[in-house]
A and B are shown apart, each in its own frame.
Chain A
Amino acid sequence: MTVTTRPSRVAPAIDAPVAPVEAPSSGQTRIGRGAAWPKRREGPAKLTGEALYTDDLVFPDAWFGHTVRSTDAHARLLEIDLDPAFDWSKVVVVTAKDIPGENLVSLIADDQPVLVDSEIRHYAEPVALLAAPDRETLRQASRRISLRTQPLAAVFDPLESRQEFAHFALDKGNVEAGFGEAEVVVEGTYRVGHQEQLYIENQAMIAVPRPDGGVTIHGSLQCPYYIHNALKRALRLSDAQAVVIQAETGGGFGGKEEYPSIIAIHAALLAQRLARPVRMIYDRHEDIAATTKRHPAIIRHRTGVTRDGRLVAQDIEVVMDGGAYCTLTPVVLSRGTLHAGGPYNCPNVRIRGRAMATNTPPNGAFRGFGAPQTEFAVETQVNRIADRLTISPLELRRRWAYRIGDETPSGQTLRESVAAEEVLERAAESAEFERIHGLTVVGRRERAERAGSEPKSNVLSSAAGRTARGIGLALGWHGAGFTGSGEVKLASVASVELTSAGEIRVLTASTEMGQGTKTVLPQLAAEQLGVPADAVQIAPQDTSIVPDSGPTVASRTVMVVGGLVLKAARRLREMVEPSTGRPFAESYRDYAREHGGLRVDQQFEPYPDTNFDDATYRGDAYPAYGWACAVAEVEVDLDTGEVAVRNVVSADDVGKAIHPLLAEGQIEGGTLQAVGYATIEEIKLVDGRYLNDRLATYLIPTSLDAPRIDSILVEQPFSGAPHGAKGVGELPMDVPAAAVVAAIHDATGAWIHDLPATPERILAALHGIAPPPLPGLSTTSTPSSEAPA
């Protein structure tokens, strides 16, 4: 043990007042325009190192926790063996039999244990917990505990799996009649693999025992009430005994929606046993090896068109790999299925979606939530159809894109806020799509003629002949907020309070993970109240203080919770002004002095004329949709197959951009995650184990890999939300991957059907050689049963 001179801190003030910041003068650079909007609330704390993330929190006498994980993909757990040569009195061990409540962590189906009791269903599954007073003892103990197992047959291929988590069916018109009308039928199978969220702050939870027998969790998380509910169930706690407080959170992207619940339970079990705080801080290896990923998917398309480019039939099958447990899979599949047809008005549609179980770590929420998978497929399909018909992909989309009055495959009539054409035109114009596409097409043809007999060199290449440039386009949509009746069931509450001390504060469970919650929610309240944004405080995301305003997911924070905050602030003003006879801003302090505090709780009310039938899957799947168009320019190295994405223009209709600088930040970040998905991000599996489970082997884009990203904010407001906002978080993730793949085709003449478009896949497509293993599919170390090449 080392000498520690670390100053002890008591539980941190989550909302420490920040230093006053000098406002920038506008016009200094193009960034100067940011002066119009409030600065990021917690920005100064993040920029000075004062912001406290979970692992920065000091709890004296805390022990360190460790999770013992399975090393089988599927096995019967026979025994947990403790080496008798080790002094086990120095540590504590917790197994399934020590769980006071139900051995379950669940959002939809009750299938996932907190700790394996008898059957191991995936590699890296939690089986036992250890805690020790220091890291070295913990390390030693973890090496002296072993699992005796009896391996069982494992299923890795969702197409071979017999266990289904969910299925959905959407039908519109008559597909067979549609294909009868078709003059050209294009088929395609598209495959996408796992993608890791790769927030830079690993998962982290600290559990602190409470005097009332409960536990307080400080952690890196998106959804305080999900954890609150999970703790109550597994530890048999009351509402008051299960307190969850969000620490500063270093990125989530869906990865901290569901998985934090199991970590919090683990930490709490150890803390309860020890009657002292326990730190459960994952390192990067454990985080990648064990936590949820984007669902791999296999998507088959059959599309009927006429020779002059009319869309007459779409037949689509979506199969997702849920991994070993249900987690959020049915909802991911639902969104993926609802978006699978793309933003196109097709008279005859059949979509079938199913999610299957495999013996791989469970997949879960990741920005886009099923839509990036199915929209990659449909957009690549549409681009291939344009290629086949020799119609510009821009022109084809002009003809097919949804307009007001069109009906979706779920039978929803799009009544307003349809910006498919606008985002398409604005992105295409800004990126000069037609001009550049014209050059690349001509260039590719010339190269092919010049190359003569060489069949595989039909490429536009640079002067040196080693690289080729291309441009590609994709269009997408993203249902705003929860699917179907999700918001009605959630019945979220957000509050705005005038305290007796004359302070205004917003109370919600919506978390800040970088997207700007703590800035935008007070901004919305302040605008209603006529006060400066910094006059509105935001209460800490602590379940003992704030109401359940639902999870911070589904791009719903600004649209749904922001709408509640806005309405609550409006009501607060309407209560104060008649009493004081003066504008709220001038009189609220006097009101508080004379009458005391006032709090307005605003509960979600269904959006008008929005009806969805969960049983038949018919109706208004979403109250509104966001629309996005991405245009990507790439340069492909023809010798190595490497792709450099040079530029991306992303036009995104967010309804109303409340804080344009933050909204742009969402578009830029989502676009780069999509570029990573398209080009380099891939989990490889052997025997159901993630092979590249370190940051040295799972690569994400660096600043040198990142394109120049130009974001265009389009605003077609949604009348159901008081501010018109439709959300921005996930929309920019949905379509850039297909734009990149179209650009690779434009450069090389090769269509890539499987993501990511790695050098190996590109060279395989260019030279007609065997491609690498399919994305998302585990190979087995037994040579006889290797996955098909």
Chain B
Amino acid sequence: MELGPYILLASLEGAVTAAVLALTAVGLSLVFGVMRVVNIAHGEFFMLGAVIAWFVAQTVGGHPALGFVAALVIAPLVVGGIAAAADMTILKRLDYDPERTIVATIGLLYIIQQLTLMTYGPEARPVEAPFNQRLALPWFEWGEEGFEFYFPWGLSTTTYKLAVIVAAGVVLVGVWLMMARTRIGLLMRATQADRDMALAFGIPVERVYALVFGIGAALAALAAVLIVPIQQAHYLMGADPLLLSFIVVIIGGLGSLPGTVVAAIFIGLSDGIISVFFSPTLAKILATLLVGLVLVFRPQGLFGTRSS
């Protein structure tokens, strides 16, 4: 394969990563934005989504699409419920003190991860995609005989991967509509702007917090259900999404949703492309260093604006 098709292939793979990453990171960003809580257990909610998707697909049986659709509904609901319960039993009692909640969510990370290990086991298990046709992609070129059009070997994607990208886009628009156009979004934004003032105006801040924490976790679970037919469900799969979401949220500007999406696309695509040409470890080293330096020298993020 020549360089051009190769880059196209890498960006297609990168776009799938970016789509899933955007969903996961928006969940993390929402929680940080509204609650000022850094949720270290976010990656484990992602993992739970994938594992529950496997359980659901196993129980439903029949056509793969049936189980998948069921998982798409059930997994985010269950994970969101677990997260909301964790918020009400643990985080609320810590009074959302930033450092103590971080320690508590680290604890939560280990609890969820190890309970999954004890029940689900250490195996990686796949979920079958509802549809999965291979699509060969054409490549255009100006050759010696003018305009050429051919199908390079290996340049292909699947309908499922394209569907993941579309689905992620739809959900992101949904989140934006919820935040911008609905009453509950308004309550969230009010709580984000000034917690005490919101409380004074009779907004049930504690319930908003539980809801936001649940929605954040549900978004991660949804992203995991989408990716689980491509990757497999494994009890340690939460580490990478957590790290990448952190990178995205920080580069996008802490708590800024549009910045998060832009950064997710940027990081997802560049991760795909860099990993093709360089070692993935090197790509990760550069990304983590970048995050550290961004926080030190540009705490509002690369795309954010400095808020008061």
Partners in one complex: no
